[in-house]
Amino acid sequence: MSALSVTTCGPSPVWRTFGRSPGPSIAAEAFDRARAHSDPLADTIRARRLLGTELSYIGHPSFDDPGAQDAILAPMPAPTAAQTTRRSKPPVGMPPYLASLYDEAPLLTREQEAHLFRKMNYLKFRASRLRAQIDPEHAQTEDLDEIERDQAEALALRGQLVRANLRLVVSIARRNLGSQDDLFERVSDGNLVLFRAVETFDYARGNKFSTYATWAIRNQLARASHAKSDRQAHFLLGQDDILALASDSRTEAPEHSDVQEQRQLTVARLLARLGDRERRVLIGRYGIGGACEQTLTQLGQELGVTKERVRQIEARAQEKLRGLARDHEIVALLA
């Protein structure tokens, strides 16, 4: 088996032994020592561990063509002149950790991206094919070494693809960032989706990975945001029953209770998307959830601001709610 080119962000236990950084002779000596001291029992345990881990890949007809292997395993196409001279600037106000992504993770060309995806999936295909031939009770050290090398390099390539697209996650996470949203939390959620997207992307279809990943990340962040709003809504008023959002809701006829409950839950979700002071002012001013109605002066004393400032907060909160409500077709509730 010919030596493979390895792209990795740092030494791992596997690549400290088999990586190219120690040099060919040192790596070969280490490999020979490992083979000389092979233990059948250890190989059986090792084989069972390998076979017990999931290994999935996106197949391609070229994987079965022996003549395509050299091209697939070749180094990534060289950076273009634009890649070597152009540096993206992080947005103003970006936290240092996130801003560093713009320097440390260069963007890939479409050709480079396709090459890395094909190579990563081919290595997993090759490891999977050899794994299917392994009998744990009679596993050979050389076969196990080869499987681990392919899986380790595939993992390194996945990391390279993820790092090259981290700024995409940051860009999406920063959009429509609400007052109750945490940027780092959204980036963390988006990164998990990015990892999965790298695993499931079919490069052979000719689509750009960024298009595929953007769709997946946006959907996940939207679901996470809605789930967070639901959780906040349940604790918004300090009680389990959040459905009595206005004092006149108790007068609803029984036959309209389901509709009213849905409307009230929607309002609670909208309130959860306001700032703390905006939400507190509306709850106090309109007695939402059974709260005692308060005057501007009373709320001003509670919040430590003037009566006029409370009026401004109330007007701003109402305007925000109207904007949000248009999407939910409940403008009449806020009239």
70-117 pLDDT per residue, tens: 999 999 998 877 666 566 677 776 777 777 777 767 789 999 999 999
Q: Do 234 and 249 meet the contact criterion of CB atoms below 8 Å apart?
A: no
pLDDT at 64 > cutoff 90: yes
Give the separation between CA 197 and CA 209, rounded to whole angstroms. 8
Give residue limits of the domains in the chain: 13-229, 239-334
- Residue 233 confidence (pLDDT): 52
Give the separation between CA 145 and CA 143, rounded to whole angstroms. 5
3-state secondary structure of 247: helix
Query: 230: pLDDT confidence band, cut at 50, 70 and 90?
Result: low
Mean pLDDT of 153-167: 95
Give the separation between CA 157 and CA 134, rounded to whole angstroms. 25
H or E element, residue 245: none
CATH 1.20.120.1810 fits 13-229, yes or no: yes
* Pair of tokens at residue 103: 């320097």
CATH number attached to the domain at 239-334:
1.10.10.10
